[in-house]
Amino acid sequence: MSESFSFFVGIDLGSEQHHIEVINEQGGNAGRRAVDHGGAAVTEFLHWLAQLTSVVAPPEVAVAVEAPRGALIDALLERGYAVFSINPKQLDRFRDRFSVAGAKDDRRDALVLAQSLRTDGEHFRRLRADDPRIVRVRELSRGEQSLQQDLRRACNQLWNYLQRYFPAVLQLSSSADEPWLWDLLRRCQALPTRAARFRPETIASLLRRHHIRRLTAEQVHLALREPLPLAPGVAEALAEQVLTLLPRLQLLRQQRLDLSQRVEQLIEELTADENFAEHRSLAILRSLPGVGRVSAAAVLAEAFTPLAEKDYRSLRALAGVAPVTKQSGKTRLVSMRRACDNRLRCALFHAANVHMQKDERARRIYHRLRQCGNSHARALRGVADRLLELLCTLLRKQSLYDPAKRLIQQQVPA
């Protein structure tokens, strides 16, 4: 670390109680205590830490934690302390310095954090207080992803019920995730015998209301005409489960749509707000082919600091596109990086897939990697790596993506 600190604080975070260890720059103990997770206890701890380190300013006090965010971390950042985060796996390796036998307790972990930050601070990641709007993008986009997972889980439950007693509708919607199908099930009380009595005019009206053009009323009517023969009472029992599930599906879908609209609106506001320091960077990010709302929100939420610093190495490592090399003697193994932000990795994977379809150079990179025997996923990681390199180049030049300039650059080497 380029900065010099007078005190080092290790905090082992817990759900009910946090353990604190404070040492000076020589490694001597300066204070120790346990803090309950509550407003009054945290406030008292902050007063205690301020008094303990009163001989120096808050920026000269370095704090080490495992988690990158939380109530206690936000309070420390707000008061100007230098807060650093370390991966729990790295902490486990540092712990071996203090106990070869593998002993572990919360107080020792706090001491390990403080001492490791003092001696190996370059391996910790400095945390910054984010703009409140970035915090909002992070929470809204994560909430949208959580709702999407809940919606997919509920759709899978619906598919399972329909597969057992009403497979005809799965011929019309194989994933059971379309609102028009839910409306159809609600109208027939999820009973195959009632659906078989629907008139083509009723079905046509329902299809028009939901703007379904890939199916005709005759096709739907024909699929519903022959219900599956079942034992008495089976269809009625499963129909009750389906009718209980339908309102949940409608609610989850509406909540996800509302959140996606709010995320899109917030990103548009940040892009247009010249008072926002990274509004130009956000505009450059969104100008890249394949980078839509989901990808932009993921980068803002999970990698805002590397984006602002135009740090290509950090971005590719955080997104999981930088490979991991293990070499010993005559053995050299290159594998996919597992230690990364999975949400950012997933968003960038899909962005690279679309980017490859819209950008000629990216398409050539993809086909070259495939011809070398790489899998589809490995080839897309290569495209994603070049996409991040292109993004950082544009950020340094403060230039929007221009496909015409990119085409000229492609033609020059030839």
| Closest among 174, 173, 180, 246 to 208, alpha carbons compared | 180
pLDDT digits (tens, 9 = 90+) for 37-81: 888 999 999 999 999 999 999 999 999 998 888 889 999 999 999
Q: Which residue has the higher pLDDT, 286 or 412?
A: 286
- Tell whether the model's pLDDT for residue 201 goes beyond 90: yes
Structure confidence by residue, pLDDT tens digits, 141-193: 999 999 999 999 999 999 999 999 999 999 999 999 999 999 999 999 999 99
Q: Is the pLDDT of residue 117 over 80?
A: yes
For residue 345, what are the contacts with CB-CB under 8 A and spacing of at least 6?
319, 320, 321
User: Domain 7-129 is in which class?
Assistant: alpha beta
| CA pair distance 95, 66, nearest whole angstrom | 13
SS3 129: coil
**pLDDT value, residue 2:** 55
CB-based contacts of 156, cutoff 8 Å, min separation 6: none
pLDDT, tens digit (0-9, with 9 covering 90-100), for 255-280: 999 999 999 999 999 999 988 888 99
* Residue 92 scores a pLDDT above 90: no
- Chain position carrying tokens 């950082």: 392
Q: What percent of the chain has pLDDT over 70?
A: 97
Q: Are 57 and 80 in contact (CB under 8 A)?
A: yes
Average pLDDT taken over every residue of the chain: 90
Is 413's pLDDT higher than 90?
no
Distances (CA, A) of 251 to 183, 257, 325, 336: 13, 10, 46, 38
Q: Which of 388, 380, 386 is closest to 410 using CA atoms?
A: 386
Domain ranges of the chain: 7-129, 136-258, 277-411
Q: Alpha-carbon torsion 246, 249, 254, 257, what sign?
A: negative
Residue 412: band (very low, low, confident or very high) from pLDDT cuts 50, 70, 90:
very low
Q: What confidence tens digit (pLDDT) does each residue in 284-308 have?
A: 999 999 999 999 999 999 999 899 9
What pLDDT is attached to residue 125? 85
- What tens digit of pLDDT does each residue of 211-251 get? 999 999 999 999 998 878 888 899 999 999 999 999 999 99
pLDDT for the residue numbered 414: 42
Query: Can you give the pTM of this predicted structure?
Result: 0.82
